[in-house]
Chains A and B, each alone.
Chain A
Amino acid sequence: MFETLTKRLSGAFGAFRGQRELTEENIEDGLRAVRTALLEADVQFQLARDFTARVKERALGAGIVKGVDPSQQFVHAVHAELVEMMGPEDAKIRFASQPPTVLLLAGLQGAGKTTTCAKLAKRMRERGGRKPLMVAADIKRPAAVEQLRVLGRKLDIPVFHQEGLTAPEVCAAGVAAARAQGCDLVLLDTAGRLHVDDELMAEVADIARLTKPHETVLVVDSMTGQDAVRSAQAFHERLELTGVILTKLDGDARGGAAVSLKAVTGRPILFIGTGEKLDDLDAFHPERMAGRILGMGDVVGLVEEAQDKISEQDAEAAYQKMVLGSFTLEDMLAQIRMFRKLGPMKKVLGMMPGMGGMMDKIDVDDRQMNRLEALFTSMTPKERLHPEVLDMSRRRRIARGSGQDVGAMNDLLKSFKGMKQMMKQMNKLGLGAKLGSKAKKDALRGMSADGELAPDVGGGGMLSGLFGGGGGGGLPGGGAPEGLEGMLGQRGAPRPMGSSSTRKQQKKKKKDKKKSRKGRRK
């Protein structure tokens, strides 16, 4: 169901092939594919329609660009238009000249206000040198105050609350308390409310009236559907929002709500929530979001993630091994483990260029990576250090030891050889001596120092070497990555021996179950 745009367009672009320019006629299939992608991403219907109209204009207006085939031209137009719609990038909290700065968080129930409140407080203290105070103004939901208190204790950030007051009174008292305690930032965590609940909407308007917030932020769940427009509109009318934060983007929500929110409020998307942990708050980048909505991968995000999570030493050590040509299976295992530190496989792979469209085909998840690791751990240390001793009988033993068939083991060795080969090439290019440590880390990932794909190492670099020797670039114009037939490639991921339950069987099981439940129908 969730076909990525990349995949769809490759179909649609059949129409473009061999043609020199985009025309009114040949662009229609492409536009339809874009519209469908946007709707699947929950971009509001009218917005999706207006959007495709603008893309059409832009793409047709661009004229013939030498050396750029029409499909690339089209994709570029789509991407640029979408970025424009969600931009500009503006992740700034405006602080008051007279402290304390007051920041009000509002939104529907369960959107992530309380968690985001704590994330913001932490971030502002760490990166902005602020002294925050959080105000627990949800006096309605059971244990809402306690929830913020627990988070405050974890962060060692004060939480204000006073029993017996109304929510607006709590907020006003909170701001006064901040002033008294010398806190220069007050974050107001309010109760979740529906935009159609007049009483509660009046309450939050009261809070704003009493505390005169400098920032009024709507917190929105990125899984929200078409309703995002209606609710944002209502909140904006009541509160005059100054910004939006989009949460739960660590899942597979395509996040089309971002487009709707920007269109309705005209306010910047300040941050995105990417996890339950209090560090999981990132700046919003329209290009990445555009790539995500369209299903085109998130290269920049992957680079940043890797920079955060892989230590210099790990990267340096791995790099030395490669460059010195002493790369063994032991090192490959170390690399896989390093790679896995980046996060769940689906997330990491989803961020890799061009992988968007391949996701369903390779279907790598962490359990498959576990099986892969199991192959390594079933080897003896000697085998890992001297892969050349791995004859057929040893391979069979290892496969059996990890509950898989020998094909999985052969795939692993093929990838190992591919990686070694790639390293030799890198050596020949003399990359080792020239690069600084950051550049080495980047090279490990197949990115050049400035975050571009490093062409020398075949785009995918060492990490995607794990997946069969380097993929191609990301945009559909360049086609899907070619080299993914490695061990997680067309053969599918390493399979367990006698893998039993196929999808079809599961489906049948479900049908049977459904039947047996019919009896319960009223």
Chain B
Amino acid sequence: MGLFDRLKTRLGRTRSALADGISGLFRGGREMDAALLGELEELLYNADLGSVASEVVEDLSRKHKRGELNGEADTRDALRASLLARLPEVWGEIEFTHTPTVILVVGVNGSGKTTSIAKLAHRFHSQGKHVLVGACDTYRAAAAEQLEIWAARSEVEIVRKDEGADPASVAFESLETALVLGHDVVILDTAGRLHTQTNLMDELRKIQRVVSRKIEGAPHEVWLVLDGTNGQNAVQQARLFTEAVDVTGLIVSKLDGTARGGAIFGIEREVGLPVRYIGTGEAMELLEVFEPQAFVDAILAEA
């Protein structure tokens, strides 16, 4: 199965409200007009695009005035183009140019960090890489146990300490272990934190500092995991995490529901971060490489 089809089946298990809505708009041979554009704007808002929705509709409105939009097919094409233009130019999987490549994973509480790490570990391991995960969430109850179970399932190694240990020290030990045992990838899980909590953002900086002192240039990637059901607050998350730790990419989780992660359009406009992967379920296989085309098609696809 091709990537697009996989994405489409995963995302398309539930038809997006947007796709349904667009078909509905043109029912009964309705003509394109201002009222219809208004309804389209509403659909886009309902997909969490926020004020990007208005910009997209302005695009379409301009095209309509030039007489370029005749009917549903034109509108879908124009919509697809406008949405595509608003997705990151940089995306997809990274190349591993360092040994070990150190990836720090951050995000707000419950966004899907630990599960995404399990998926990444599984993915990289399946690609033949020697993977180590570090349980730097020493705060939440049973966070390390959770990662430990995932590590066992995906057959990768883990460095963990007891609850309450210094997260930076877990990071340090993970790198030390990786250097000795020759791991190719180290993925560090961190405790969930809200981007407004300055002291916890400082803690992340400390982890980053310790990591870079141990291995120059590390962490090579800092990935922010966003809950795909989040609305406009996601933009604030992207902004403040990036200010604190130089985020290099996004993972958008939980796209298997009816939410479609529309907030990433706002993030692209306000912050501009590459999207790397999307999560489409709780099992460790359910991670897809992000691809703008497939993403937009999955949003707009008819069942």
A250 within 8 A of B: yes
B100 within 8 A of A: no
With A518-B90, A520-B94 known to touch, is A231 a contact of B108 (CB < 8 Å)? no
B259 within 8 A of A: yes
B230 within 8 A of A: yes
B70 within 8 A of A: no
With A1-B235, A251-B233, A517-B90 known to touch, is A143 a contact of B259 (CB < 8 Å)? no
A151 within 8 A of B: yes
Question: Are B259 and A520 in contact, with the CB atoms below 8 A?
Answer: no
CB within 8 Å of A: which B148-171 residues:
148-150, 153, 163
Question: Are B257 and A223 in contact, with the CB atoms below 8 A?
Answer: no
Nearest CB of chain A from residue B4's CB, rounded to whole Å: 14
CB within 8 Å of B: which A38-93 residues:
39-42, 44-46
Q: Considering only CB atoms, which chain B residue lies closest to A347 in the complex?
A: B196
With A226-B48, A276-B109, A510-B272 known to touch, is A142 a contact of B230 (CB < 8 Å)? no
Total contacts A-B at CB 8 Å: 189
Tell me which residues across on chain B come within 8 A of A225, comparing CB atoms: 48, 229-232, 234, 259, 262-263
A254 within 8 A of B: yes
Q: With the chains together, A521 CA to B17 CA distance in Å?
A: 30
Most chain B beta-carbon contacts within 10 A, residue among A41, A154, A227, A256: A227
Chain B residues with a Cβ closer than 8 Å to the other chain, count = 66
| Per-residue A-contact encoding for B111-142, CB less than 8 Å = 1, 0 else | 11000000000000000000000000001111
Q: Considering only CB atoms, which chain A residue lies closest to B88 in the complex?
A: A514
Question: Are B110 and A111 in contact, with the CB atoms below 8 A?
Answer: yes
A428 within 8 A of B: no
With A2-B236, A276-B140 known to touch, is A227 a contact of B195 (CB < 8 Å)? no
Q: With the chains together, A252 CA to B238 CA distance in Å?
A: 13
CB within 8 Å of B: which A358-373 residues:
365-367
Q: With the chains together, A114 CA to B143 CA distance in Å?
A: 13
Question: Are B90 and A344 in contact, with the CB atoms below 8 A?
Answer: no
Tell me which residues across on chain A come within 8 A of B192, comparing CB atoms: 276
Question: Are A42 and B111 in contact, with the CB atoms below 8 A?
Answer: no
B145 within 8 A of A: yes
Tell me which residues across on chain A come within 8 A of B149, comparing CB atoms: 142-143
Q: With the chains together, A510 CA to B274 CA distance in Å?
A: 12
Question: Are B89 and A142 in contact, with the CB atoms below 8 A?
Answer: no
Tell me which residues across on chain A come within 8 A of B108, comparing CB atoms: 223, 248, 251
Q: With the chains together, A36 CA to B51 CA distance in Å?
A: 9
Question: Are B198 and A253 in contact, with the CB atoms below 8 A?
Answer: no
CB within 8 Å of A: which B259-303 residues:
259, 262-263, 266, 270, 272, 274, 282
Q: Considering only CB atoms, which chain B residue lies closest to A224 in the complex?
A: B229
Q: Considering only CB atoms, which chain B residue lies closest to A110 in the complex?
A: B110
Question: Are A251 and B195 in contact, with the CB atoms below 8 A?
Answer: yes
A120 within 8 A of B: no
Question: Are B145 and A143 in contact, with the CB atoms below 8 A?
Answer: yes
Tell me which residues across on chain B come within 8 A of A513, comparing CB atoms: 248
Question: Are B199 and A141 in contact, with the CB atoms below 8 A?
Answer: no
With A112-B109, A223-B233 known to touch, is A250 a contact of B194 (CB < 8 Å)? yes
Q: With the chains together, A110 CA to B92 CA distance in Å?
A: 26
| Per-residue B-contact encoding for A1-17, CB less than 8 Å = 1, 0 else | 11000000000000000
Question: Are B146 and A230 in contact, with the CB atoms below 8 A?
Answer: no
A221 within 8 A of B: yes
Tell me which residues across on chain B come within 8 A of A514, comparing CB atoms: 89-90, 272, 274
With A108-B257, A223-B233, A224-B229 known to touch, is A39 a contact of B198 (CB < 8 Å)? no
B26 within 8 A of A: no
Q: With the chains together, A367 CA to B243 CA distance in Å?
A: 14
CB within 8 Å of B: which A501-522 residues:
506, 510-511, 513-514, 517-518, 520-522
Q: Considering only CB atoms, which chain B residue lies closest to A510 in the complex?
A: B272
With A147-B146, A276-B140 known to touch, is A506 a contact of B231 (CB < 8 Å)? no
Nearest CB of chain B from residue A130's CB, rounded to whole Å: 22
> B229 touches which one: A108, A252, A276 (CB < 8 A)?
A108
Q: With the chains together, A344 CA to B234 CA distance in Å?
A: 20
A94 within 8 A of B: no
Q: With the chains together, A347 CA to B195 CA distance in Å?
A: 12
Q: Considering only CB atoms, which chain A residue lies closest to B191 in the complex?
A: A276
Most chain A beta-carbon contacts within 10 A, residue among B145, B146, B194: B194
* 11 extra A-B contacts, CB within 8 A, seeds A110-B111, A221-B229, A248-B109: A2-B232, A45-B45, A109-B254, A142-B149, A196-B257, A225-B263, A227-B231, A248-B110, A250-B194, A251-B233, A345-B198
- List 20 A-B residue pairs with CB atoms under 8 Å apart, sorted by A's residue number: A1-B266, A39-B232, A42-B233, A108-B254, A109-B112, A109-B254, A111-B110, A142-B150, A144-B142, A147-B140, A149-B142, A150-B163, A195-B258, A221-B229, A223-B227, A224-B229, A225-B229, A227-B259, A248-B110, A250-B197
Q: Which A residues have a C-beta under 8 Å from some C-beta of B?
A: 1-2, 36, 39-42, 44-46, 108-112, 114, 140-144, 146-151, 154, 194-196, 221, 223-227, 230-231, 248, 250-254, 256-257, 276, 344-347, 365-367, 506, 510-511, 513-514, 517-518, 520-522
Q: Which B residues have a C-beta under 8 Å from some C-beta of A?
A: 13-14, 17, 42, 45-48, 50-51, 89-92, 94-95, 108-112, 139-143, 145-146, 148-150, 153, 163, 192, 194-199, 202, 227, 229-237, 242-243, 248, 254, 256-259, 262-263, 266, 270, 272, 274, 282
